């Protein structure tokens, strides 16, 4: 494995965590959205990650993380009885997003820390490479 491969692995990790932060920000921005139709209300989104491998079997080496897609939560929206709301359906209900703000905040903190860890990996690898180059002086 090349010593430069670590930058690729950490870079894909940073990219994946960036996608995770963006979907979390989108979920938090739409947490209070409502609709008169339960099928049209905003649904929480979550990215799917996959380890990318080069080679097969014993020769395989993990070479990063890939975002394979973004899925919508299958949780039901919250129905609230608000007959005076202009968005209310014929029965007086409005439907709120299924975003759990506490869960999203925890996810945001986790993604942020994972991103910071990948930055630290890159900095440590850079420092080690520079120290190796200084050995020849």
User: Residue 71: what pLDDT?
Assistant: 96
Percent of the chain with pLDDT over 90: 64
Model pLDDT for residues 28-82, shown as the tens digit of each residue: 999 999 998 899 999 999 999 998 877 655 555 667 889 999 999 998 999 999 9
Whether residue 117 is predicted with pLDDT greater than 60 in this model: the reply is yes
Q: What is the pTM of this model?
A: 0.83
Contact (Cβ atoms closer than 8 angstroms) between residue 31 and residue 101: yes
Q: H or E stretch including 60?
A: none
Phi, psi of 92 (to 5 degrees): 90, 10
CA quadruple 59, 64, 67, 68: dihedral, nearest 10? 0
Tokens of 128: 């080690």
């Amino acid at each position: 494995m090349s010593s430069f491969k670590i930058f690729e692995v950490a870079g894909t990790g940073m990219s994946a965590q960036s996608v995770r932060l963006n979907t979390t920000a989108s979920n938090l921005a739409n947490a209070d959205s409502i609709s008169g139709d339960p099928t049209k209300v905003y649904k929480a989104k979550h990215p799917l990650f996959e380890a990318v491998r080069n080679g097969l079997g014993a020769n395989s080496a993990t070479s990063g993380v890939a975002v394979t897609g973004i899925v919508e939560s299958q949780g039901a929206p919250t129905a609230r009885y608000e007959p005076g709301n202009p968005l209310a359906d014929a029965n007086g209900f409005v439907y709120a997003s299924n975003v759990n703000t506490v869960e999203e905040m925890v996810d945001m903190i986790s993604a942020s820390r994972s991103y910071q860890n990948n930055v630290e990996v890159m900095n440590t690898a850079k420092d080690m490479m520079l120290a190796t180059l200084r050995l020849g002086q």
